[in-house]
């Protein structure tokens, strides 16, 4: 995945090695943090391990067309800061179709069947929302109603969008995600994000493996050299912090370490289908295909072209050893069994993503275990008044999304700016 060159490559400014704020990671959170630091009149440097920006939001050419390998949807248009900013900038944002499709045992569902499925999702949503109001935090599996024949397809969809099997997902955390009012960025979400990085001081190919915050400021170290700063914002995926891929000196305080352990690496992988003769004619539709004992989601004809996504959840990825050729063969056979051999005759699979094994992601997003929803806020607390952790995982209302990561990077940079502009006499005694 990392070998592909993105469709949009921003021109970057020189990244100085002695700055007010050092930012680790040039995904959505890191880009937002850098823009905010500069707007606040602070100097900053972004250190990015990969040879590209964007993190889990990147658009690459596939068969000559732009394709998002990670995030594609701008969720929650009324909350998502990247929808408001995109409108302001004149970015090519288009509303996502509100209705999807449903195929049950090979046949396009009639209105009554589609209605029954819709009602089952509503019933499940209401049960989860009710659980969110309880003082105990059960798992989604604990509160999912029976739902008859719809239980399996509903559970499969919820497991896919939460990133883990439902017994591992906090019911308190789940409803905070608002998926209504979705948008697409024509030409790719990653390309839009790359335009937002234009002119920023980002050093590519610069992994950070040690952060020393024992002195007055912060020193960030890695094979690319050392950067000194008055404060640092760490936007790397939480799964990497859980693996101790960055050593902190001194170690992070116990509440932060405990909060890092609250999360599980979520899975969401795209099997990309190049399928000009697919039976699905409409562009950008979500189609649920329900079989007798399993169901999967498709996104059809992305931007009107031949590419489709077949979406892989945690359990399926694990069962197939996260092996690209096994996942491709599984996808083809599963579709053939539901839609007929003829339907998949012209189907090619140019790419299968593997974000969970990608060494700079290790997860599609961070999933809060039952009982651990409040840890998102704990993670966002300033550490020693000079270290902040920010990214999709620290967002309460838009966790697991690019918009949430953006908002959190921006908020951390604002907090750092406030702290750096405060005179030392006004600071609390830390020791």
Ligand X SMILES: Cc1cc2nc3c(=O)[nH]c(=O)nc-3n(C[C@H](O)[C@H](O)[C@H](O)COP(=O)(O)OP(=O)(O)OC[C@H]3O[C@@H](n4cnc5c(N)ncnc54)[C@H](O)[C@@H]3O)c2cc1C
Stretch of residues binding ligand X (CB under 6 A), selected from 86-94, 98-106, 144-152, 236-244: 236-244
Residue 28 found at the interface with ligand X (CB under 6 A): yes
For ligand X, which residue of 213, 330, 355, 388 counts as binding (CB under 6 A)?
355
Tokens 């990969």 correspond to 50
- Compute the least distance from the CB of residue 99 to ligand X, in Å: 18
Tell me whether residue 25 or residue 187 sits nearer to ligand X (CB atom): 25
Number of residues that bind ligand X (CB under 6 A): 43
- How far apart (Å, rounded) are the C-alpha atoms in residues 90 and 65? 22
As a 3-state breakdown, the chain gives helix, strand, coil percent values, each rounded to 5, of 35, 25, 45
For ligand X, which residue of 117, 353, 380, 389 counts as binding (CB under 6 A)?
353
- Compute the least distance from the CB of residue 181 to ligand X, in Å: 13
Specify whether the CB–CB gap between 193 and 26 falls below 8 A: no
> Within 13 Å of residue 370, how many CA atoms lie on the same side as its CB?
17
For ligand X, which residue of 213, 334, 365, 388 counts as binding (CB under 6 A)?
365
Q: ∠ CA(133), CA(160), CA(130), 5° rounding?
A: 15
- Between residue 256 and residue 275, which ones bind ligand X under the rule CB under 6 A? 268-270
Is 59 buried (19+), middle (13-18) or exposed (0-12) by CB count in 10 A? buried
For ligand X, which residue of 246, 298, 351, 389 counts as binding (CB under 6 A)?
246
Nearest to 36 by CA among 283, 281, 235: 235
Tell me whether residue 52 or residue 369 sits nearer to ligand X (CB atom): 52
- How far apart (Å, rounded) are the C-alpha atoms in residues 159 and 152? 10
Nearest to 43 by CA among 417, 391, 385: 417
- Compute the least distance from the CB of residue 220 to ligand X, in Å: 9
- Encoding tokens for residue 71? 């995030």
72 to 91: interface string for ligand X, x by CB under 6 A: xx-x----------------
Residue 380 found at the interface with ligand X (CB under 6 A): no
- Compute the least distance from the CB of residue 267 to ligand X, in Å: 8
- How far apart (Å, rounded) are the C-alpha atoms in residues 258 and 283? 44
- Compute the least distance from the CB of residue 166 to ligand X, in Å: 19
For ligand X, which residue of 12, 24, 203, 239 counts as binding (CB under 6 A)?
24
Residue 70 found at the interface with ligand X (CB under 6 A): yes
Tokens 């509503």 correspond to 122
Residue 386 found at the interface with ligand X (CB under 6 A): no
Q: Is the dihedral of CA 187, 193, 196, 197 positive or negative?
A: negative
- Compute the least distance from the CB of residue 197 to ligand X, in Å: 11
For ligand X, which residue of 137, 168, 392, 410 counts as binding (CB under 6 A)?
392
The enclosing H or E element of 368 equals strand 366-368
Tell me whether residue 157 or residue 353 sits nearer to ligand X (CB atom): 353
Residue 35 found at the interface with ligand X (CB under 6 A): no
Specify whether the CB–CB gap between 261 and 243 falls below 8 A: no
For ligand X, which residue of 143, 158, 208, 412 counts as binding (CB under 6 A)?
208
- How far apart (Å, rounded) are the C-alpha atoms in residues 111 and 117? 10
Specify whether the CB–CB gap between 62 and 263 falls below 8 A: no
> Within 13 Å of residue 85, how many CA atoms lie on the same side as its CB?
14
Classify 229 as helix, strand or coil.
Answer: strand
For ligand X, which residue of 96, 256, 405, 413 counts as binding (CB under 6 A)?
405
- How far apart (Å, rounded) are the C-alpha atoms in residues 182 and 94? 9
Tell me whether residue 140 or residue 238 sits nearer to ligand X (CB atom): 238
Stretch of residues binding ligand X (CB under 6 A), selected from 83-91, 143-151, 169-177, 353-361: 353-361
Stretch of residues binding ligand X (CB under 6 A), selected from 154-162, 296-304, 381-389, 402-410: 402-410
- Compute the least distance from the CB of residue 232 to ligand X, in Å: 11
- How far apart (Å, rounded) are the C-alpha atoms in residues 113 and 92? 35
Stretch of residues binding ligand X (CB under 6 A), selected from 9-17, 105-113, 232-240, 248-256: 232-240
For ligand X, which residue of 401, 411, 412, 417 counts as binding (CB under 6 A)?
401
For ligand X, which residue of 22, 23, 29, 231 counts as binding (CB under 6 A)?
29
- Encoding tokens for residue 92? 């090519």
Residue 26 found at the interface with ligand X (CB under 6 A): yes
Specify whether the CB–CB gap between 139 and 370 falls below 8 A: yes
Q: Which residues bind ligand X (CB under 6 A)?
A: 24-30, 47-50, 55-57, 70-73, 75, 207-208, 235-237, 240, 245-246, 268-270, 353, 355, 360-361, 364-365, 391-392, 400-403, 405
């Amino acid at each position: 995945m990392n070998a592909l060159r993105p469709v949009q490559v921003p021109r970057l400014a020189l990244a100085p090695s002695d700055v007010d704020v050092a930012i680790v990671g040039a995904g959505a959170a890191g880009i937002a943090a850098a823009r905010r630091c500069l707007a606040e009149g602070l100097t900053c440097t972004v250190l990015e391990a990969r040879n590209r920006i964007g993190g889990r939001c990147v658009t690459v050419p596939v068969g000559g067309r732009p394709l998002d390998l990670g995030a594609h949807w701008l969720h929650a248009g009324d909350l998502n800061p990247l929808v408001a900013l995109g409108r302001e900038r004149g970015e090519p944002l288009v509303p996502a179709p509100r209705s999807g499709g449903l195929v049950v045992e090979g046949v396009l569902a009639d209105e009554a069947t589609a209605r029954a499925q819709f009602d089952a999702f509503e019933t499940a949503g209401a049960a989860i929302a009710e659980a969110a109001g309880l003082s105990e935090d059960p798992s989604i599996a604990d509160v999912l109603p029976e739902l008859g024949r719809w239980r399996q397809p509903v559970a499969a969809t919820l497991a896919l969008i939460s990133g883990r099997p439902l017994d591992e997902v906090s019911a308190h955390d789940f409803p905070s995600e608002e998926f209504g009012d979705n948008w697409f960025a024509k030409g790719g979400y990653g390309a839009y994000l790359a335009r937002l990085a234009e002119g920023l001081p980002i050093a590519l190919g610069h992994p950070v493996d040690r952060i020393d915050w024992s002195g007055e400021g912060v020193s960030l170290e890695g094979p690319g050299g050392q950067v000194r700063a008055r404060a640092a914002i760490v936007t790397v995926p939480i799964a990497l912090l859980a693996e101790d891929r960055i050593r902190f000196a001194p170690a992070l305080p116990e509440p932060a370490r405990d909060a890092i352990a609250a999360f599980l690496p979520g899975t969401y992988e795209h099997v990309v289908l190049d399928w000009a003769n697919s039976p699905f004619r409409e562009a950008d539709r979500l189609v649920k295909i329900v079989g007798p004992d399993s169901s999967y989601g498709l996104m059809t004809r992305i931007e009107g072209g031949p590419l489709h996504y077949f979406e892989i959840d945690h359990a399926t990825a694990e069962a197939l050893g996260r092996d690209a050729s096994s996942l491709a063969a599984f996808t083809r056979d599963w579709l053939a069994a539901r839609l007929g051999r003829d339907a998949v005759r012209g189907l090619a699979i140019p790419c299968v993503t593997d974000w969970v094994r990608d060494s700079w992601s290790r997860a599609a997003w961070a999933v809060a275990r039952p009982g651990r929803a409040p840890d998102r806020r704990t993670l966002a607390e300033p550490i020693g008044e000079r270290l902040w952790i920010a990214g999709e995982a620290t967002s309460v209302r838009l966790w697991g999304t690019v918009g949430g990561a953006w908002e959190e990077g921006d908020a951390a940079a604002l907090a750092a700016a406030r702290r750096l502009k405060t005179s030392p006499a006004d600071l609390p005694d830390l020791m």
